[in-house]
Structure 1
Amino acid sequence: MTTMSFMVLYPPPADVDQFERDYQAHLELLHKKLGIPSDERPYTVTKMLDGPTGPATFYQLFSMDFADSDQLHEVLSSSAMQQVAADANRISTGGAPVVLVGQPEVMASAQGGQ
């Protein structure tokens, strides 16, 4: 089965505390619109940290996996997800969020499995 990943990168917000409050409400909206039980988290949220080359370019990454491209496109094209996307744009006060779609790939070991 092919897995597809949907990712949203948020730039550093103008007001971190406000973003955190808004983001919690945003996740509640995601759960409500997609019918995700409140105690389930079929996604990850990763806070970016400064690295050896300087400040992080992005503040946060949201990532959610789907079984295949059909499921991904069905969810992304739904009116419910369009409402969630509009809310993501609203709360992203540091600039527009960057939306990415990818297909995780398992790389073969450089040592050929030895």
Structure 2
Amino acid sequence: MIKFMILFGPPEDAERFENVYQDFLALIERLPNIRRRQVAHVTGSPQGAPKVHRILEIYFESTDAQTEALMSPAGQEAGKELSRLPKDS
């Protein structure tokens, strides 16, 4: 099993992040070969605000399955959508 992770830092514009992120997740659902997808919402701690806002984990059976998914039309479209997400603060 292969786990592909994307860590998102705290966005400057949280509302815009959520809007684009939901569009991005919809594209991720169209990727071929996904075995499982998991999203973690990171909260603060007694030490303060977290350095990571969200974690997306996508599981594939093999590196070949991962490559096929990321190179697919849906994967390419998701990559373009990912670049639209607001940058970290």
State the TM-score, normalized to the length of structure 2: 0.80
Q: Give the fraction of aligned pairs with identical amino acids, expressed as a percent.
A: 28
Q: RMSD across aligned C-alpha pairs, in angstroms?
A: 2.3
Classify the secondary structure of the residue corresponding to 2:58: strand
Give the number of the structure whose alpha-carbon radius of gyration is greater.
1
* In the alignment, structure 1 residue 13 sits paired with structure 2 residue 7: no
Which structure 2 segments of 5+ residues have no match? none
> Which residue of 73, 80, 83 maps to 1:86?
80
Instruction: Assess if the C-alpha contact under 8 Å between 2:6 and 2:55 holds in 1.
Output: yes
Q: Deviations over 1:40-88 (max 9, x none)?
A: x931111112234332111100001111111112112224212201211
Which structure 1 segments of 5+ residues have no match? 96-114
> Which residue of 38, 62, 66 maps to 1:44?
38
Instruction: Assess if the C-alpha contact under 8 Å between 1:11 and 1:59 holds in 2.
Output: yes
Instruction: Assess if the C-alpha contact under 8 Å between 2:17 and 2:85 holds in 1.
Output: yes
> Which residue of 20, 23, 31 maps to 2:21?
23
